[in-house]
Chains A and B, each alone.
Chain A
Amino acid sequence: MIETEKIIEAILIGDDDKVKVLTLEEINKGERAGEIMREGLIAGMTKVGEQMEAEEMFIPEVLMSARAMSAGVEVLKPHLKTEDAAVRGKVVIGTVEGDLHDIGKNLVKMLIEGAGFEVIDLGTNVEKDRFIKAVQENNADILGMSALLTTTMPSMQVIIEALKKAGIRDQVKIIVGGAPVTEEYAQEIGADAYGPDAGSAVRVINSIL
């Protein structure tokens, strides 16, 4: 029996040393790495996401939790079989062209990394073609786009149209966010999902995968 409660608790308080020790103990007991990952580490981060969305956790605490999760993943990596890959999916993320705001985007990046995704961060002021190239080259599961300005927001639609033209729109799920972006706008431009804040990013991504 995996002592999931203990691992989840250690992730919630952001204690990376404790997560490492607990994870190792489970391995030594002969538990399967994939199960420790799912029932311990990922379950812990899911709880972190819930608490963050409920405004019960502060961002620095969430990031400590994410760090603790990563420490656990490092311990598990050598023991993971191919079918329970260490990475849950690849996410290409960036702030659209003309927009230099990256606080929200960086937060989302740290949180989804903490939840076990591989993130390819294209940074800010990312041109349309760089998004498309990154999606193609990395065979990304998710494309996340951010805009803080009403003037740069329309780029999101342009990029979605370009993905369609390139014939790869259906290979990737698209999530958008940023202060002026709304659920309605996300639907209007043909994105798959919208996250109102960083705390919801992991939950939203999980829901569309």
Chain B
Amino acid sequence: MAYIRSNQQSFNSPHAAKMSEGQCQRLYWACLEILERTGVCLYNQEAIDLLDKAGASVTDGNRVRIPAGMVEKAFSTVPKNVALYNRNGQRKIQAGGHRSYFGTGSDCLNIIDHRTGERRLAVLQDIVDGMKVCDALDNIDFVMCMFLPSDVPQDILDRYEMEAMLNHTIKPIFYVTTEFAGCKAAVEMAEIVAGGADALRHYPFAACYINVTTGLRHNEEALQKLLFLSEKGLPFTYIPSAQGGVTAPITIAGTMAVNNAGVLAGLVISQLKREGTPFIMPGWGGNMLDMKTTVQPYADPEKRSQAIDFSHFLGLPTFSLGGCSESKMVDQQAAAEAALTLFTDALFGGNLVHDVGYLESGMSGSLPQLVICDEVISWIEAFMHEVVITDETLALDLIDEVGPDGQYLDNPHTMKHFRDRWYPNLFERSNYDSWQKKGGKDLGTRATDVVEKIVNEHEPERLPDDIAKAVHEVVLKEL
């Protein structure tokens, strides 16, 4: 029997949007107007000269006004996707479009110690433990160092962070460095591990997170890093941090216009330095200063999703933001904010969702919180699955065969498909008695148990001894 069905349509996933194409277009024009009319202040001579030579207007030494045509040209050379590999050269991430990947954040000053529940200054061993946990968790796709180590020489702490990441996980890395020299050292370490500069460029497993003062004010270190990495053809994020009500208008649209004007300025410089340089933009938009507490909230509902829509409009991969919370501890607020932020970023298609496991607006981090987020991501992944409507899944012959009074529990069709359904690892579904028998533990306690088990038992794949030694020499070079 021929099986012909014409005009079939299906969804492969849920879909959502907050901004229309028209709204994105207007925001884009606003960014172009800011760049042409107001311009940006750049604190790096090479960047100014590059723009000057390409046709921008430079006044007052470092005030640069960029014509729209230069931005349009940059879009013709920047890649729409950024691929990231793991330490072993396996392609793991294809950031771009609506594909979502998840990873931790960097540099929390404090840790909520899972052994004691106490908040204390973080140390290097916390990064080591954190990387082990990231390495073991299925749904953590890339890592950032999570914590600021307080027990190493502070002027080169970023080298220790990079070394700990390289040593304790094979997953793709986003590194953050305070000074430009730290960025060069991180690249040097990554090149040693990759087996040379060419190998790292072809199989990048480490990317730099570049933070920029604000949309219209680009600090020296950020521009140095951008130029250095562009020249090397290595991927990086370029994240201006315009803050609504302080360094940009308080409105979401105003903050986004200022911030993304800065993103586009960075984009132009990167493509002028080297056409084809991979460039990753922020996946959140409309940072605000909480006018009661002066905190910059991470789990703010209003800064979510529109930047992801905008990135899809522009065709740039995003460094997105989820799994984070303003709560001071691993509690109900932390779980709720983490789940909501992960969910919205995944639903809208943010690409590299970072800051998973952040608490206290980035002031502290928690490994059990990270484990809880891993479970939330697993839930979201199942939620995002398409519904498969086929003869096999409808099973009409089976329904007729079993009849209204029959049951399906021991049917081969059940055996074949029951694993298609999602089961939790950490979320509790047992009946009350079974749950009690297992210790009657709440979510935080169960997550803590998982952390303890991973930290004690998981052995990430080690770097070869000579490589690890060479990496360590880079760390100590400036001591």
Instruction: Name A residues whose Cβ lies closer than 8 Å to a Cβ of B.
Output: 53, 55, 58-61, 63-64, 66-67, 103, 106-107, 110, 179, 183, 196-197
Contact = CB atoms under 8 A, between A and B. Distances in A.
Contacts of A61: 415
Contact of A106 (B407, B431, B432): B407
B116 interface: no
A183 B409 CA distance: 27
Contact of A64 (B407, B415, B431): B415
Contacts of A58: 418-419
A60 B414 contact: yes
Interface of B: 407, 409-410, 414-415, 418-419, 430-434
A110 B430 contact: no
A55 B410 contact: no
A110 B418 contact: no
B415 A110 contact: no
Main SS at interface, chain A: helix
Contacts of B419: 58
A178 to B, nearest CB: 11
23 contacts: A55-B430, A55-B434, A58-B419, A59-B409, A60-B410, A60-B414, A60-B415, A61-B415, A63-B410, A64-B415, A66-B410, A67-B410, A103-B407, A106-B407, A110-B410, A179-B431, A183-B433, A196-B432, A196-B433, A196-B434, A197-B431, A197-B433, A197-B434
A114 to B, nearest CB: 10
Contacts, number: 33
A191 to B, nearest CB: 16
B438 to A, nearest CB: 9
Contacts of B431: 179, 196-197
A165 B131 CA distance: 68
Contact of B418 (A60, A107, A179): A60
A55 B425 CA distance: 11
A199 to B, nearest CB: 8
A38 B363 CA distance: 61
A202 to B, nearest CB: 15
Contacts of A179: 431
A64 B410 contact: yes
A182 B396 CA distance: 39
Nearest to A114: B410
A202 B414 CA distance: 23
Contacts of A63: 409-410
Contacts of B432: 196
B267 to A, nearest CB: 50
A11 to B, nearest CB: 15
Contacts of B434: 53, 55, 196-197
A106 B415 contact: no
Contacts of B415: 60-61, 64
Given A55-B430, A60-B410, A64-B415, 15 more contacts: A53-B434, A55-B434, A59-B409, A60-B414, A60-B418, A63-B410, A103-B407, A106-B409, A107-B409, A110-B409, A110-B410, A196-B431, A196-B434, A197-B431, A197-B434
Q: Which of B418, B430, B432, B433 is most buried by chain A, counting CB atoms within 10 A of its CB?
A: B433
Contacts of A67: 410
A197 B410 CA distance: 18
A58 B414 CA distance: 11
Contacts of A66: 410
Closest 8 CB pairs of A and B: A196-B433, A63-B410, A60-B415, A60-B414, A60-B418, A197-B431, A196-B431, A63-B409
Nearest to A53: B434
Contacts of A55: 430, 434
A53 B410 CA distance: 18
